[in-house]
């Protein structure tokens, strides 16, 4: 009971912006959080409260190699390892990576360095039977696709990524984020040849009235600019 109360207090503290910088740099706190959430015997409520702490302070996180909280990224990557068996934690880990990617000034370099570990797993989760996983994966990829062009080039070369994003254009909920990800990738000139392989499928979706149609029209315009 005391652990539940303590986790709820930490969660409430993390909701206050002025607490973010202090919480984000407290490596001992995050080491404890990781030990608790990675324990299979931890009650769901406590685990969710502590993950919410990470999500709430994500805008203040710096997980670069010289940061005291670098191990947080290692923890997230380990959750995504398909051999780890931590499927319950995968949606939260994807959401957290998406939040870190939304702060490229602090985290772009270190996240790009871990592309070989995280991109294939995110691509796998795009077709997850768990809609929460699929949603978190496409959001994370969308945020990562706003990185500089070298990172966008590496993304486009990830096997099955573009094809699976195109397949998501049929999903009313996921299509807008998938289309925005495709648009970000299409802005990198070196990606256009690869993306032209999917031009016909994108045209078919662009002519159908949907929340993603306008964005897809922009993608097709980018592809035609060469």
**DSSP letter for each residue of 191-203:** GHHHHGGGHHHHH
> Measured between alpha carbons, how far is residue 90 from residues 4, 85, 87 in Å?
22, 9, 5
Q: SS3 for 208?
A: coil
Q: Residues 30, 69: contact at Cβ < 8 Å?
A: yes
Cα distance between residue 47 and residue 39, in whole Å: 9
Q: For residue 5, how many other CB atoms are within 10 A of its CB?
A: 11
Residue identified by tokens 């486009």 is: 156
pTM, full prediction = 0.90
Q: What is the dihedral of CA 188, 173, 48, 119, to 10 degrees?
A: -30
Give me the pLDDT at residue 65, please: 80
Burial class (CB in 10 A: 0-12, 13-18, 19+), 167: middle
Task: Kindly give the confidence (pLDDT) of every residue in the chain, 226 residues in length, as a single tens digit, with 9 standing for 90 and above.
Answer: 788 999 999 999 999 999 999 999 898 998 899 889 888 899 989 988 998 999 899 888 888 888 878 888 888 888 888 776 556 788 989 999 999 999 999 899 999 999 999 999 999 999 999 999 999 999 999 999 999 999 999 999 999 999 999 999 999 999 999 999 999 999 999 999 999 999 999 999 999 999 999 999 999 999 998 6
Q: CA end-to-end span of the chain, whole Å? A: 62
């Amino acid at each position: 009971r005391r652990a539940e109360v303590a986790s709820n207090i930490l969660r409430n503290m993390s909701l206050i912006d002025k607490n973010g910088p202090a919480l984000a740099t407290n490596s001992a706190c995050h080491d404890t959080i990781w030990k608790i959430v990675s324990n299979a015997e931890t009650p769901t409520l406590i685990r969710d409260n502590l993950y919410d702490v990470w999500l709430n302070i994500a805008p203040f996180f710096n997980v670069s190699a010289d940061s005291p909280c670098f191990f947080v990224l290692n923890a997230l990557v380990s959750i995504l390892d398909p051999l780890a068996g931590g499927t319950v934690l995968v949606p939260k880990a994807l959401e957290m990576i998406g939040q870190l990617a939304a702060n490229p000034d602090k985290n772009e370099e270190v996240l790009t360095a871990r592309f070989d570990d995280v991109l294939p797993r995110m691509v796998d989760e795009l077709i997850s039977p768990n809609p929460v996983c699929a949603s978190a994966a496409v959001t994370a990829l969308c945020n990562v696709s706003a990185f500089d062009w070298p990172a966008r080039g590496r993304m486009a070369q990830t096997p099955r990524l573009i094809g699976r994003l195109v397949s998501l254009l049929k999903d009313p909920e996921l299509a807008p984020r998938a289309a925005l990800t495709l648009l970000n990738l299409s802005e990198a000139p070196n990606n256009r040849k690869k993306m032209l392989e999917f031009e016909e499928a994108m045209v078919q979706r662009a002519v159908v009235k949907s929340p993603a149609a306008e964005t897809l029209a922009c993608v097709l315009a980018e592809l035609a600019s060469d």
